Amino acid sequence: MHSYFTAFLFLISGFLFSQSNHSISAIPKDLIDNANSVLMNETIAVDVSKEERLRYSHRIVRAVLNKKGNNHVQTYVNYNEDTKVTNLEAFVYDGDGNELKHFKKRDFHDVSAAGNSLYEDDRMLYIEYTPSQYPYIIEFTHEIESKTTAFIPKWFPIGNYWRSTMQSTYTLKFDPLNKPRFKTLNLDRFDISISESPTEIICKAKNVEAIRWEEHSLPFQTIAPRVSFALNRFYLKGVEGYGKNWKEFGDWYHRNLLTNVSDLPEMTIETVRNLVSNEKDNLSKAKKIYEYLQNKVRYISIQIGVGGWKPMLAKDVDKLSYGDCKALTNYTKALLEAVGVPSYYTVLYAGNEEQSIPKDFVAVQGNHAILGIPHEDDIVWLECTSQDAPFGFGGDFSDDRDVLIITPEGGKIVHTKAYSYQENSQENKATIFIESSGALRANFEGISKGLQYDDKYLLENEEKDDLEEHYKERWDYINGFSIDDIRLENNRESIIFSEKLSLVAPNYMSKVGEDLLFCPNVFNQLQYIPPRIKERKQKLHLREGFEDFDTLEITLPEGYVLEVVPENKSIENKFGNYSIEFEKTSENTLRYKRNLSIKKGTFPASEYDNYRSFRRKIAKLDKTKVLLKQKQ
């Protein structure tokens, strides 16, 4: 009786809301400030009380205030053989609540959602609506039923920047014998409550103001309110899973997802054993295997198996020479096992935002797989989907985050390599010849390491025209220059990328009467200044540190003399260091040296203006000019 009564109240409250409050005038002014859309009402109901069944219903009423708010509208639902859409409907209203359009399930387009995936059974139901006026309100309702309970939808009472929420309610119904665990994040600053009963968890949010995007903020998922849920005992496409801690979860993962997928053809085993026969240690063997992998296979998305989590068979990868991240990681692991090298299948959140798998919340998580090879007291990481990455180099796609390794003893959370700013170095050297006509000829050489290597090493695959376009964008402050020669060298063994260029800039110098004015910093002018932000709210986050060294030997034109050598300058603070030095090494030569380091870190919001001031000073000093006087 209680459940029927609750459902009745839900229907009545939803009816009353839809009849009376579909109007922009119902939105408090505070929720419109900094918002491109307002979540007027949201009701989420999740039911995992039955084994092997998840029911999910979601009703959302969103006011779209302007064109940018269109990106906040989600009028689609994904489904597959494991997940059925049981209800689907949408309404569009004008700002006063008058109905403009009604979409029923039959009006939704049904298309494949495989994208670039070779094998995937995902499909999508969606509608297309082009607004003719702003603001407008859209109501979207869908219900699904799934056999998988491993992924209980998270609750995000505010979905992203520039969105506010009037009301959001999330109800999770469960079996008391399998009560979900939940983890909260960033709830303190908001009107958010969580209540529990023996069979339900109810989360409510009211009047959550929009979070303004600010330059150099932490990733949104680390600052926004959210609640995550997980079951100790769950189902993944009919396969029972368990894991109240990472050790137990890793044991389940290995037994159910990584067992019986590693067999290789005898011919391949013989091939790789012969390949490493002269290698003396595991790391040198692994390098040979990684080279073999990169020459043999290519990456392609494949979302099949147990919920897209079980790798395809290693023998199939060997035969077909392609696979997704899971398949290629498992295949590499199998190759290493064939030559006696241990390795760890590893799950992580990949991407440059450095999202970690939380140590204190066990669940099926991650969006990528890599391989870890134990070496002394460390782990060497292999990106098995890349045909270009050097051995042991994942770049900012997998650096500095907690990941889950699957070991014979179960799952463990470990941390990937964190690059110091000194490791992310770029050293530029150049010999420069200035002509009395104002032209500049230069021979440039740059050497990049660490994450600065990561930014450049794929340049070796570019065509000549694309390379020239790259350098013209990189040095866009040099007007009208032409490149005579480009020579690139990618040292994958040492993980160093070298650039050698010869170029001519016919009008680099500025005429000042009979004299010449020029900027000695030809190849590394950083003109970025963070924008002014009034009343900044978010912490200052410098995601990546680096260090630059520039040394330029400049030969002055005949008939001109450098009478005044510019003053050396230096800045040192918590964000990094900067210095420029000028030295007249002979009558007609000038040496220009520039060092810059930016340190990775997170600082209080109050430090933003100080960092902005630091970058403004760098931008100004990087354009320091030198005057050459014509000899009398």
d(CA 325, CA 191): 41
What are the structure tokens assigned to 315, written together? 């023998």
Residue 176 lies in a domain: yes
Query: What's the CA gap between 530 and 616, in Å, rounded?
Result: 8
Q: Which of helix, strand or coil describes residue 233?
A: strand
**Per-residue tokens: 184:** 């909260």
**pLDDT at position 488, please?**
98
Q: What is the CATH number of the domain that holds 280?
A: 3.10.620.30
Assess whether 134 and 279 both reside in one domain. Answer: no
The strand ranges marked E within 53-135 are 54-64, 76-79, 83-94, 99-104, 109-112, 119-120, 123-126
Report the pLDDT value the prediction gives residue 4, as an integer from 0 to 100. 38
Residues 290, 182: one domain?
no
Cα separation of 231 and 249, whole Å? 11
Amino acid 249: pLDDT: 97
Assess whether 443 and 371 both reside in one domain.
no
User: How many whole angstroms separate alpha carbon 563 and alpha carbon 328?
Assistant: 63
**Side chain identity at residue 565, one-letter code:** V
Reduce the DSSP state of residue 291 to 3 states and report it: helix
Tokens representing 539 are 């912490």
On whether the CB atoms of residues 18 and 139 are closer than 8 A, the answer is yes
SS3 188: coil
Whether residues 402 and 438 fall in one domain: no
Give the DSSP H/E element, type plus range, for residue 613: helix 608-621
Picking from 206, 224, 210, 208, the residue whose alpha carbon sits closest to that of residue 162 is: 210
pLDDT at 115: 54
Q: Do residue 511 and residue 410 come from a single domain?
A: no
Q: Are residues 379 and 512 in the same domain?
A: no
Q: Which of 390, 415, 440 is the last residue of a domain?
A: 415
pLDDT per residue as tens digits for the range 370-402: 999 999 999 999 999 999 999 999 999 999 999
Across 470-600, where does the E strand assignment appear?
482-491, 496-505, 510-512, 515-518, 540-542, 546-555, 560-561, 569-573, 576-586, 589-598
Q: Could you tell me if residue 235 is inside a domain?
A: no
Closest CA to 428 of 582, 550, 593: 550
CATH of the domain at 84: 2.60.40.3140
**310 contacts: CB under 8 Å, gap ≥ 6:** 256, 257, 261, 326
* Structural domain of 392: 243-415
Looking at the fold, whether 112 and 140 belong to one and the same domain comes out as: yes
Whether 39 contacts 168, CB under 8 Å: yes
**Chosen domain end from 415, 439, 469:** 415
Model-level pTM? 0.91
Contact 190, 208 (CB under 8 A): yes
Q: Are residue 203 and residue 304 in the same domain, yes or no?
A: no
How many H-runs (helices) and E-runs (strands) does the chain carry?
11, 38
The reply to whether 230 falls in a domain is no
- Cα–Cα distance measured from residue 332 to residue 287, given in angstroms and rounded to the nearest whole number: 11
Q: Tell the burial category of 309 from Cβ atoms under 10 Å away from its Cβ (0-12, 13-18, 19+).
A: buried
Statement to judge: residues 78 and 200 lie in one domain: yes
Rounded to whole angstroms, the Cα distance separating 120 from 562 reads: 68
Which tokens hold the place of 87?
């209800």
Q: Which residues contact 274 (CB under 8 A, 6 or more apart)?
A: none
In which residue ranges of the chain is pLDDT below 70?
1-21, 114-121, 302-307
Q: Do 370 and 435 share a structural domain? A: no
Cα–Cα distances in angstroms (integers) from residue 108 to residues 59, 89, 102, in the given order: 17, 9, 11
- Measure the CA–CA gap between 339 and 308, rounded to whole angstroms: 28
Which residue type occupies 276? V
Q: How are beta strands 546-555 and 425-434 bridged, if at all?
A: parallel
Parallel, antiparallel or unpaired: strands 119-120 and 302-303: parallel
Pair (552, 620) in one structural domain: yes
The answer to whether residue 236 sits within a structural domain is: no
CATH code where residue 540 lies? 2.60.120.1130
pLDDT at 573: 97
Rounded to whole angstroms, the Cα distance separating 383 from 346 reads 10
**Count of CA atoms in the C-beta half-sphere (13 A) of 414:** 21
Residue 14 lies inside a defined structural domain of this protein? no
Q: Does residue 571 lie within any of the structural domains?
A: yes
How many domains does the structure of the chain reveal? Answer: 3
Helix (H, G, I), strand (E, B) or coil at 330: helix
Residue 220 lies in a domain: no
Q: What's the one-letter identity of residue 6? A: T
Tell me the C-alpha distance between 486 and 484, whole Å: 7
Residue 605: φ, ψ to 5°: -55, -30
DSSP 523: S
The Cα–Cα gap between 553 and 505 comes to 17
Domain boundary among 177, 198, 214: 214
Distance, in Å, from the CA atom of 337 to the CA atom of 333, rounded to the nearest integer, reads 6
* 54-70 pLDDT, tens digit each: 999 999 999 999 999 99
Can you give the pLDDT at residue 306? 53
450 is a domain residue: yes
Q: Judge whether 450 and 423 are in contact, CB under 8 Å.
A: yes
* Domain shared by 408 and 443, yes or no: no
Type of residue numbered 611: Y
Instruction: Report the amino acid identity of residue 163.
Output: R
pLDDT at residue 319, rounded to an integer: 97
d(CA 556, CA 434): 5
Q: What is the DSSP letter of 155?
A: B
